């Protein structure tokens, strides 16, 4: 099929296939090293885990900014969590890790999450690197031996980590207090304080306390250097606002303000990294100390030149993506270890964190089968691209967000189908039916467009402004904003078709003008294929197939890149409608033990009542007759704005800033509804 495409002088971010040589940083340039929180290898990730780390990191890694990029992740396999889960399942820790490594890898693959390398920590290189760091800390006088009382299960038999012991809170009497915190009174606890402690592996086991000796890292000695580094890095890398430092440069982490204390590096483990000191007891290292070390060790298993990435702060910027519960370990603990180690490590440049994504009014719970976990997303039949769009559009960047089935369906039907997909399909079908799929000659020169009339001028100026906003947002790691801008650009395309009057009559009355409109609309679709690629890569691939065009980088201005005489591919719909009734079915299916199989849950009943009332309140917006292109475009805008408002209302906790955003968004919605009502009356 013939192509007539203007060459692209940029280069695309291509994720190497398995077995391909690892990309290496280029000296004298700023290269990008990306990591996302290492998932524990004892369970499958839920939607909140995915948006909080791996998916967000994947979007940033795919942006095309002509920078060498490496995205590393993998399963965190050593430690108490693995040992305990293996006991529960009656298999060895290695068998457990092998099982969940495959489940994690398959889940991320289905979600189109493209790591350069997804590895694991139970490797000889991991032990070697961890032991080298441990030895260096000792050489610098930063380790000390301490003895401490710990909870011990006589039945397992083993020392119990805080998360695997529960009992009665000594302060409020709450019966199910955890070893680190009481959910009844929210007080921080030490597991040995619990009254009548119980082992979560088997609650019939006898739990006592025993003294255990461990090696502690003297964080208090490193704290002055850590604070100095935090202040400099947070300012240079523009960390997320929910990190350990606020926008005024003030340290807000309670542990830093109180003063860091020595913390244990070793654990009583069989499944861990042996301490590299002769005569020491066979303690292992895992968890807080082990997990950050997994990033360089996984890189080392990917390429022997791993030190070019991890000991190269001059040429490499490290971006890390995680939920807020991991912030301390990556902004205080791990940098302290790197500083104490003494070598010139590549340290954190930019931290991107999220709040929690909750599920339908509560929390995700694997034990209660509540929420969507890993492979179950595929079982819904919702395409990965739609999942990616909804999760990213709901990304909880400044406050907790709530997953909602009706909103997920609305995101597909009202935004992707009616706005984005409608624009692409309308243009390409028009070219196919009226021009035989061949781009007509618009007399435009290749390269940036010049306006031919006021309609073109407003359209090109608006799109170019949004392109700049998109680049700025993505460079600042404002992922949700970047996606919103892509949808705004798509809306501009729909508006342009309406304002320019693209139809069969325009071909007859002004064939040159019709060709100009086609050229701009097709090339906006080409630009959208690049803009949407980080968020929905398979959707981008589908657009490129229909355009019969190669992938290209994000342009700073709208350009004539698909030239006259180019032959398009076959136009097809990018998205399919999801029936609204599926919300009720999925809510029951994924509601777990709390939702009765034979009843409609109360939230669903309330949603139905609200939807009925909403429909009754807005009869003027209904129209059974044919709708104008303007009305169709406005309907998409109304639906998109309504989704934005619902998402804002779902944010918690409520703040004056969020209330102001909601108020402003409602005013925009009212204005759009007025315009839509007028357009429907003229249809």
Taking the alpha carbons at both ends of the chain, their separation in whole angstroms is 39
Asked whether residue 86 falls in the same domain as residue 179, the answer is no
Q: Which pLDDT value is given to residue 600?
A: 42
CATH code of residue 41: 3.40.50.620
- Give the number of domains in the chain: 4
Residue 675: partners with Cβ closer than 8 Å, 6 or more residues away: 634
Q: What pLDDT score does 619 carry?
A: 33
Is 363 part of a structural domain of the chain? no
Whether 209 and 234 share a structural domain? no
CATH number at residue 190: 2.170.220.10
Low pLDDT (below 50) residues in the chain: 281-282, 596-627
Q: Are 199 and 209 contacting, i.e. CB atoms less than 8 angstroms apart?
A: no
Q: What is the pTM of this model?
A: 0.85
Q: What backbone torsions phi and psi does residue 585 show, to the nearest 5 degrees?
A: -65, -45
Residue 431 located in a structural domain: yes
Q: Rounded to an integer, what distance in angstroms lies between the CA atom of residue 218 and that of residue 641? A: 52
The DSSP string of 351-405 is EEEE--EEETTB--BTTTTBS-BTTHHHHT---HHHHHHHHHHT--SSSBEEE-H
Q: Which one of 215, 233, 248 terminates a domain?
A: 215
424 with 481, same domain: the answer is yes
Residues 430 and 518 in one domain: yes
- My answer on whether 340 and 260 are in the same domain is yes
Range of the domain at 151: 143-215
**Same domain (yes/no): 95, 178:** no
> Domain holding 436: CATH number?
1.10.730.10
Which of 322, 338, 354 marks a domain boundary? 354
Closest to 324 measured CA to CA, from 250, 230, 240: 240
Q: 369 lies in a domain?
A: no
Q: Are 94 and 201 found together in one domain?
A: no
Q: What is the DSSP string of 641-658?
A: HHHHHHHHHT-BS--HHH
Q: Is residue 88 part of a domain?
A: yes
Q: Of 539, 567, 595, which one is at a domain's C-terminal end?
A: 567
- Both 554 and 674 in one domain: the answer is no
What tens digit of pLDDT does each residue of 146-182 get? 988 889 999 988 888 787 899 999 999 999 998 888 8
Same domain, 191 and 105: no
Is 248 contained in some domain? yes
311 lies in the same domain as 257: yes
Residue 617 in domain: no
Residue 583 lies in a domain: no
- Residue 605 belongs to some domain of the structure: no
Q: What are phi and psi of 15, to 5 degrees?
A: -80, 120
Domain match, 53 and 164 both: no
Residues 226 and 322 in one domain: yes
* pLDDT given for residue 87 in this prediction: 85
């Amino acid at each position: 099929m013939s192509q007539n495409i203007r060459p692209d002088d940029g280069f695309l971010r291509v994720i190497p296939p398995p077995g391909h040589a690892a990309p290496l940083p280029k000296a004298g340039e700023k290269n990008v090293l990306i990591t996302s929180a290492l998932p524990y290898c004892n369970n499958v990730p839920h939607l909140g885990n995915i948006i909080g780390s791996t998916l967000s990191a994947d979007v940033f890694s795919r942006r095309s900014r002509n920078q060498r990029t490496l995205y590393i992740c993998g399963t965190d396999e050593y430690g108490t969590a693995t040992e305990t889960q293996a006991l529960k399942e009656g298999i060895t820790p290695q068998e457990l890790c092998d099982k969940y490594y495959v489940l994690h890898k398959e889940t991320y693959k289905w979600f189109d999450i493209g790591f350069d390398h997804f590895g694991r920590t139970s490797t000889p290189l991991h032990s070697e690197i961890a032991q080298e760091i441990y030895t260096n800390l000792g050489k610098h006088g930063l380790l000390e031996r301490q003895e401490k009382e710990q909870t011990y299960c006589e039945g397992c038999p083993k020392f119990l980590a805080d998360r695997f012991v529960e009992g009665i809170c000594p302060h409020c009497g709450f019966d199910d207090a955890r070893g680190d915190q009481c959910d009844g009174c929210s007080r921080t606890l030490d597991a040995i304080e619990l009254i009548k402690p119980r082992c979560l592996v088997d609650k019939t086991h006898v739990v006592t306390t025993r003294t255990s000796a461990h090696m502690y890292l003297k964080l208090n000695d490193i704290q002055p250097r850590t604070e100095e580094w935090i202040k400099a890095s947070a300012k240079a890398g523009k960390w997320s606002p929910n990190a350990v430092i606020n926008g005024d440069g003030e340290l807000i982490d309670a542990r830093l303000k109180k003063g860091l204390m020595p913390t244990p590096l070793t654990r009583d483990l069989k499944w861990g990294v042996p301490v590299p000191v002769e005569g020491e007891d066979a303690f292992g290292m895992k968890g807080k100390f082990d997990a950050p070390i997994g990033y360089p060790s996984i890189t080392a298993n990917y390429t022997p030149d791993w030190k070019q990435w991890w000991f190269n702060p001059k040429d490499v910027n490290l971006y890390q993506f995680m939920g807020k519960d991991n912030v301390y370990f990556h902004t205080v603990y791990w940098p302290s270890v790197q500083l104490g180690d003494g070598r010139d490590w590549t340290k954190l440049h930019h931290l991107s964190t999220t709040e929690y994504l909750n599920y339908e009014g509560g929390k995700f719970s694997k034990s209660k089968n509540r929420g969507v976990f890993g492979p179950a997303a595929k079982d819904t039949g919702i395409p990965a691209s739609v999942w990616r769009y909804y999760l990213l559009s709901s990304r909880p960047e400044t406050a907790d967000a709530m997953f909602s089935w009706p909103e997920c369906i609305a995101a597909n039907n009202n935004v992707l189908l009616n706005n984005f997909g409608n624009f692409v399909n309308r243009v390409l079908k028009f070219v196919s039916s009226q021009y035989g799929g061949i781009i007509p000659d618009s007399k435009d020169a290749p390269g940036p467009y010049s306006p031919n009339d006021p309609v073109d001028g407003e359209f090109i100026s608006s799109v170019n402004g949004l392109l700049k906003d998109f680049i700025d947002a993505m460079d600042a790691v404002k992922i949700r904003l970047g996606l919103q801008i892509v949808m705004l650009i798509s809306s501009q395309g729909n508006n342009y078709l309406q304002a320019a009057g693209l139809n069969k009559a325009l071909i007859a009355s002004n064939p040159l003008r019709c060709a100009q409109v086609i050229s701009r609309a097709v090339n906006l679709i080409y630009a959208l294929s690049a803009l949407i690629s980080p968020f929905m890569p398979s959707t981008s691939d589908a657009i490129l197939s229909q355009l019969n065009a190669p992938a290209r980088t994000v342009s700073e201005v709208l350009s004539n890149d698909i030239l006259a005489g180019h032959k398009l591919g076959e136009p097809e719909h990018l998205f399919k409608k999801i029936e609204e009734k599926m919300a009720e079915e999925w809510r029951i299916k994924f509601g777990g033990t709390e939702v009765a199989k034979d009843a409609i849950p109360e939230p669903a009943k309330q949603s139905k009542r609200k939807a009925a009332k909403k429909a009754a309140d807005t009869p003027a917006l209904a129209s059974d007759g044919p709708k104008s292109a303007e009305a169709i475009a406005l309907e998409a805008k109304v639906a998109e704005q309504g989704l934005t408002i619902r998402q804002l209302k779902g944010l918690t906790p409520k703040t004056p800033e969020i209330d102001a955003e909601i108020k402003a968004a409602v005013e925009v919605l009212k204005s759009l509804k007025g315009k839509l009502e007028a357009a429907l009356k003229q249809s």
